[in-house]
Chain A
Amino acid sequence: MQIVVDNLVKTFRVAERDPGMLGSVRGLMRRRQRDVKALAGVSFSVRAGELVGYIGPNGAGKSTTIKILAGILVPDGGRVEVEGRAPWKQRIAHVSRIGVVFGQRTQLWWDLPVVESLEMLRHIYRVPLDQFRAARDELVALLELGGILDTPVRQLSLGQRMRADLAASLVHAPSILFLDEPTIGLDAVSKLAVRAFVQRLNRERGVTVILTTHDMDDIETLCQRVIVISEGAILSDGSLADLRNRVTRERWLTVDVDDGSAEAITDSHATVIRRDGNRVCLAFDPQVVSPAELIRRVASAHSIKDLFVENPPIETVIARLYGSVS
């Protein structure tokens, strides 16, 4: 196991203030403290080379976990081992082996060309020159940075900057890469490029990737394994298919009619999720009524132009998972 997390506990102290005038005056003298349990005993392990999605609603404890794994936050209880080290105990040794990309912030030097940031990072991470050159050339090729190497970071578009940040995080050939919202705010083309790169990095180079994201397409494209955390506890840990099956067997049938009878489409064994003009979406349990049977029933009563059967979108699955707890 490359990463071992065992019963991780972290509590934060938050200052609270009473609302209103009296509260403000009291706030001058003494602040009331409240304990917030960010992590209430989180456990999981990751093998080298896995690509794991680590998802949860805001405030679930995702970033707390990542910060502890990165070595910049000290937990209150539990055990963490990354490549045999406790991250916060041997910070410098540990961070030499990991790369981190924050979607919202850049680690590049704002006023300088991209290539100079990469050079600077080479020296910070003490990467030998020939190793750096090889890594740099490869990253430039894979991420298509050739055209922007000499462009100051402040002039880059968001998509270009993200690609440059990815390259920057890999200059020192880390064995583990943490990606925090890497596709946020990107246009469709850039998102595809980032996903393709991360997939290649994981499959061809065996870099372990821990991905936190709210973008479900990221999850579906990339993650073999998904860990769901909510309110400081792990709700689910397994493959995407497992997650789906755990929450619901439900499947969705979407039908386009061309005889204007969309209003009238119903079935005793299905629930209508959405009616939209000539399109109707029905949710059903394939163990109660098979897809083929449902299609036959609807087709016999209506004139169908088009139809398709799919899984509920992962957002729905996960929302149900969160909802099932609270």
Chain B
Amino acid sequence: MDSLQLYRRYTAISIRAQLTYRATFALKTVGHMLVTAIEFLGIWALFSRFGTLGGWSLRDVALIYGMADIAFALADAVGRGFDQFGTLLKAGDFDRLLLRPRSTVLQLLGHELQLMRIGRLSQGIVVLAWASGGIAWRAGSVLLLALSIAGTACLFVGLVVLQATSCFWTIETLEVWNAFTYGGNYAGQYPMAIYRPWFRRFFTAIVPLALTSYYPARAILGRAPLDVWHLLAPLAGPAFLAASFGAWRIGVRHHASTGS
């Protein structure tokens, strides 16, 4: 499909553009890897002191952590255009996207693929790989792992699309969204069971992170049965994303009639 092809081209030129700053790029990538590696160090330190987190072992948490980070890294890479949308809108460059015979969503998804973020992705993979050593894998759980990561990535992209949509009304990107994107990623690195009920309810019903990430993880770890409900749960991610695209379309219409 030619939209997919165009997206690939966008990715290619984005990478080429970043590579024109070769030295800085190399340094930033290494730096980002170090930074994300340090984060897991903290969790390890806590486990070495306390031994357990409410019945969850370091290996258990590592699985959840790895899944959350991989999903976030994927969403981060793809959603950069939406993340930067406030700046784009303020500079008046959104008009240029509207003047091209392509969907605004496609153009924003292709806006930039930040290679530097590969640090978080590789860290997530390493942590996940270590965690998987303690898991009895079956075909079902591998499938669920893939679905869960994909679903959670969709969820995070949906959040950043909503963040961008809010700019149509507020112009500036509201910092409050960081609570849900970065905050959501942070909270998603730990088992949802340890949080208060009201917190869990929010992340199940409104931002369904528990559905895309936590419940599948429980099934993979054998703490819950690997049944059809658990396989379907990650669909909450694409559903959330579809809803946020709906909001985006409303935002674009609003922009077209008010010019702001």
Whether A and B touch directly in their complex, counting CB atoms under 8 A apart, is answered as yes
- Chain A interface residues toward B at CB < 8 A: 12-13, 64, 67, 70-74, 88, 91-93, 95-96, 98, 100, 102, 105, 107, 109-112, 116, 120, 123-126, 152
Q: Which residues of B contact A98 (CB under 8 A)?
A: 99
16 contacts between A and B (CB under 8 A): A67-B259, A73-B256, A73-B257, A74-B256, A74-B257, A93-B101, A96-B101, A105-B91, A105-B93, A105-B96, A111-B17, A112-B16, A120-B9, A125-B101, A126-B101, A152-B20
Q: Which residues of A contact B201 (CB under 8 A)?
A: none
> Do B102 and A67 touch across chains, with their CB atoms under 8 A apart?
no
Among B64-107, those with CB < 8 Å from A are 91-93, 95-96, 98-102
> Do A124 and B256 touch across chains, with their CB atoms under 8 A apart?
no
> Do B9 and A71 touch across chains, with their CB atoms under 8 A apart?
no
**B39 within 8 A of partner (CB):** no
**B258 within 8 A of partner (CB):** yes
> Do A95 and B98 touch across chains, with their CB atoms under 8 A apart?
yes
Q: Which residues of B contact A74 (CB under 8 A)?
A: 256-257
**B27 within 8 A of partner (CB):** no
CA gap between A12 and B259 in the complex, in Å: 8
Among B1-59, those with CB < 8 Å from A are 2, 5-6, 9-10, 13, 16-18, 20-21
CA gap between A13 and B260 in the complex, in Å: 10
Q: Which residues of A contact B2 (CB under 8 A)?
A: 126
Instruction: For residue B168, give the distance in angstroms from its CB to the closest CB of chain A.
Output: 13
Q: Which residues of B contact A126 (CB under 8 A)?
A: 2, 101
Q: Which 7 A-B pairs have the closest CB atoms?
A: A111-B17, A96-B101, A72-B98, A92-B101, A74-B257, A74-B256, A111-B20
CA gap between A109 and B93 in the complex, in Å: 12
Q: Which residues of A contact B18 (CB under 8 A)?
A: 111
Q: Which residues of A contact B13 (CB under 8 A)?
A: 109, 112, 116, 120
Partner of A107, one of B5, B10, B91, B96: B96
Instruction: For residue B252, give the distance in angstroms from its CB to the closest CB of chain A.
Output: 10
> Do A73 and B9 touch across chains, with their CB atoms under 8 A apart?
no
Partner of B256, one of A72, A96, A123: A72
Measured as residues with beta carbon below 8 angstroms from the partner, the interface class of chain B is 20 to 34
> Do A95 and B96 touch across chains, with their CB atoms under 8 A apart?
no
> Do A124 and B102 touch across chains, with their CB atoms under 8 A apart?
yes
> Do B17 and A72 touch across chains, with their CB atoms under 8 A apart?
no
- Chain B interface residues toward A at CB < 8 A: 2, 5-6, 9-10, 13, 16-18, 20-21, 91-93, 95-96, 98-102, 256-259
Known contacts A105-B92, A105-B93, A112-B13; is A95 also within 8 Å of B99 by CB?
yes
Q: Which residues of B contact A112 (CB under 8 A)?
A: 13, 16-17, 20
Known contacts A111-B20, A112-B16, A112-B17; is A123 also within 8 Å of B99 by CB?
no
Q: Which residues of A contact B10 (CB under 8 A)?
A: 120
CA gap between A123 and B106 in the complex, in Å: 13
Partner of A92, one of B17, B91, B96, B102: B102
> Do B258 and A64 touch across chains, with their CB atoms under 8 A apart?
no
Instruction: For residue A172, give the distance in angstroms from its CB to the closest CB of chain B.
Output: 8
Instruction: For residue B170, give the distance in angstroms from its CB to the closest CB of chain A.
Output: 12
Partner of B259, one of A64, A91, A116, A124: A64
Q: Please name 20 further chain A to chain B contacts, defined as beta carbons within 8 Å, in addition to the given A92-B102, A105-B93, A107-B96, sorted by A numbering.
A: A13-B258, A70-B99, A73-B256, A74-B256, A74-B257, A93-B101, A95-B98, A95-B99, A105-B91, A105-B92, A109-B17, A110-B17, A112-B13, A112-B17, A120-B9, A123-B5, A123-B9, A124-B102, A125-B100, A126-B2
> Do A124 and B17 touch across chains, with their CB atoms under 8 A apart?
no
CB closest residue in chain A, given B9: A123
> Do B98 and A12 touch across chains, with their CB atoms under 8 A apart?
no
CA gap between A88 and B101 in the complex, in Å: 12
CA gap between A125 and B21 in the complex, in Å: 29
CA gap between A110 and B20 in the complex, in Å: 11
Give the residue among A91, A98, A102, A152 with the most B Cβ atoms within 10 A.
A91
CA gap between A109 and B13 in the complex, in Å: 9
> Do A72 and B20 touch across chains, with their CB atoms under 8 A apart?
no
Q: Which residues of A contact B101 (CB under 8 A)?
A: 92-93, 95-96, 124-126
Partner of B95, one of A67, A93, A96, A120: A67
CB closest residue in chain B, given A106: B96
Q: Which residues of B contact A102 (CB under 8 A)?
A: 96
Instruction: For residue B49, give the distance in angstroms from its CB to the closest CB of chain A.
Output: 47
Give the residue among A102, A116, A124, A125 with the most B Cβ atoms within 10 A.
A124
CB closest residue in chain B, given A96: B101
CA gap between A167 and B18 in the complex, in Å: 25
> Do B6 and A123 touch across chains, with their CB atoms under 8 A apart?
yes
Instruction: For residue A77, give the distance in angstroms from its CB to the closest CB of chain B.
Output: 12
Partner of A73, one of B5, B100, B259: B259
Q: Which residues of B contact A109 (CB under 8 A)?
A: 13, 17
Instruction: For residue B35, give the distance in angstroms from its CB to the closest CB of chain A.
Output: 24
Known contacts A105-B93, A112-B16; is A95 also within 8 Å of B256 by CB?
no
> Do B100 and A124 touch across chains, with their CB atoms under 8 A apart?
yes
> Do B20 and A71 touch across chains, with their CB atoms under 8 A apart?
no
CA gap between A105 and B259 in the complex, in Å: 18
CB closest residue in chain A, given B5: A123
